[in-house]
């Protein structure tokens, strides 16, 4: 008797999942979903130079700064995780920058929530260029401490499958802005394995 109940539960769960998938497939795709699908094509590891306010950002030794970005599709395709910084860092995460950004569709809007090293979580909403290669995010709101400022604007420009540019604008206290530009190239799997 118990095995029949378990079997029946599994069958009902399978039918519910199939019905959900079919109802989802019949909906026309919104601009937000199209933009999200475009962003998901960036899944992988990226690396490139950083420019801050139009100037090459450098280490203390005068070496131009490069950064790494990891983009990973998660939550059954419903979220995209963006991590910036040294992916292999074993140092204390409380002392080093390693911001995380989550992209997701909420009804008819593509949103990002940026979990900032400044200790807050701004949300930004997207608008897409007519050609679909530029996805721009504008500030909606922020939660958490804004004493040191917060992320205010972001633009993702997709050049091709192996090259994209990210521009991030941070709003400082006193309504001053600081911007960073990452010119990123996809890291080939062999290069990732050898690091």
pLDDT higher at 88 or 45: 45
The pLDDT of residue 61 is above 80: no
Rounded Cα–Cα distance for residues 54 and 167 (Å): 11
What pLDDT score does 128 carry?
84
List pLDDT tens digits, range 27-55.
788 999 999 999 999 999 999 999 988 77
What pLDDT score does 98 carry?
78
Rounded Cα–Cα distance for residues 23 and 108 (Å): 17
Give me the mean pLDDT over the 92-101 stretch.
73
What pLDDT score does 85 carry?
81
Give me the mean pLDDT over the 131-152 stretch.
95
Band (pLDDT 50/70/90 cuts) for residue 6 is: low
| Maximum average pLDDT range among 1-5, 24-28, 182-186, 188-192 | 182-186
Cα 99 to chain centroid, rounded = 10
What pLDDT score does 35 carry?
94
Give me the mean pLDDT over the 76-89 stretch.
84
What pLDDT score does 152 carry?
98
Rounded Cα–Cα distance for residues 160 and 162 (Å): 5
Give me the mean pLDDT over the 9-26 stretch.
55
| Domains of the chain, CATH where assigned | 29-194 (2.40.128.20)
Produce one character per residue of 109-147: b if its CB has 16 or more CB atoms within 10 Å, e if not. bbbbbbbbbbebbbbbbbebeeeeebbbbebeebeeeee
User: E strand or H helix at 165, and its extent?
Assistant: strand 163-172
What pLDDT score does 93 carry?
60
Are 65 and 195 within 8 A, CB to CB? no
Reading the block at residue 129, the tokens are 């260029």
């Amino acid at each position: 008797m118990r095995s029949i109940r378990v079997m029946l539960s599994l069958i009902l769960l399978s039918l519910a999942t199939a019905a959900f998938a079919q109802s989802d497939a019949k909906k026309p795709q919104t601009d937000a979903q199209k933009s999200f699908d475009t962003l998901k094509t960036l899944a992988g590891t990226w690396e490139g130079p950083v420019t801050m306010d139009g100037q090459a950002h450098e280490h203390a030794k005068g070496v131009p700064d490069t950064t790494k970005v990891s983009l990973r599709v998660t939550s059954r395709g419903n979220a995209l995780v963006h991590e910036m910084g040294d992916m292999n860092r074993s140092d204390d995460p409380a002392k080093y920058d390693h911001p995380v950004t989550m992209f997701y569709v909420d009804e008819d809007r593509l949103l990002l929530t940026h979990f900032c090293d400044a200790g807050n979580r701004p949300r930004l909403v997207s608008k897409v260029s007519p050609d679909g290669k530029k996805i721009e995010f504008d500030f909606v709101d922020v939660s958490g401490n804004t004493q040191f400022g917060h992320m205010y604007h972001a633009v993702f420009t997709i050049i091709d499958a192996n090259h994209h540019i990210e521009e991030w604008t941070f709003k400082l206290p006193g309504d001053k802005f600081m911007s960073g530009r990452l010119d990123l190239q996809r890291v080939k799997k062999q290069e990732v394995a050898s690091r």
